[in-house]
Structure 1
């Protein structure tokens, strides 16, 4: 079964061709082993270029993409077509992980999810994921899918701790993949995070990523484009928070969701 490393490279909003390709190449050659993209990001070709440039064996890392209702759609045929197009743009034979990006619009569990099973059976994808799903929607997906549900990708950081989703992922043994794990930079201005960062002599970014890593079944995919930020995020793997550090962050009472709209499944 596929395993997700504790920190991967996210590529959302990284649409500059050279910057995107360079970030992916830099991350892979630094040691990252999880690359996340999506058809709606409009950068799969650039991600593929970075993969091609990197002196890293394709089978050594997890490559993930997503099907979005606003891109090519989430009907059965649209999901299959999206996967095939993603493979072509990325220049690979198979995706290690393929997500339903949002359970909105054309998403219909009974029609959408069997397409993922077909893609697994045909060897075009290895694992099935969902994104932005509530526990109830995850359970519905698990009932319909023949393939095991591998991951649910959601916004998660010290200001949106997602306790219910973490508990659900742990109880049902799937990954919770944290996007925007630095709260789009807001963690740099959180006193509790800064306190822990000062204690260890590291950045707030490293503290946020180490805090996420302290939770069983949780991994993170911070977006970064510069070598300095890619390196700083990767260095979080060397940071071990103690119980007091984790408790300090756990006790943050703010709940700031950056990606929210009326049709989101939690509204």
Structure 2
């Protein structure tokens, strides 16, 4: 069964698929051979204004225990299936476009495996159900802004893990508007290099939907910003320099338009997390 209705180009458990990355592990556990196949699957979600792609829309994990017991887990990394997004805002049109696609995919998986899905536990983002996710509008989500509460910290952790410790970073928070340059590879946006308009801070915001490439590029741009600070450049001067200097391959390229301006760093983070 293919999840073609969700914008996936191949069955998510197909190891040879060029659209997925497989990780296989085999260990001896109490005499049984355990094989785990984990696939990261890109896909598309729909908005009233168009279609958007995420490099990790789903993760499918298949476990085989002793050649007899089969467990398949489906994880999603998008809020497109929810009645309330992870910022706590109702999104009836987005839900109407996407939730039936997920329900149909779960029906297909259930038919293939011979049994209904067992929902995972409710978490800070959503409440799983046998058809997708529960409508939490009456009771309210677990957090009014789960994305803002947790995602910024998680993204910072992923960026920091790619960099050595340093005291040469610019201030990473801004109280007012920010100017930014868009980082791209081919036709995909990877993230944004930014500086506060009051010249007080600078940094990089990864585009979540671009996956690991966004964070790899971010490590390269944050390294460049460190070099700029060591050379005595102010944040805005460092931003101008970033638009002029050649970048290593993993950094992507700066889009020709720009710099653009966002009313706040939070607004830029919202843009990077949504599309």
Pairwise same-fold verdict (TM > 0.5)? no
Greater Cα radius of gyration, structure 1 or 2: 2
Larger RCO, structure (CA 8 Å, separation 6 or more): 1
- Return the structure number with greater helix share: 1
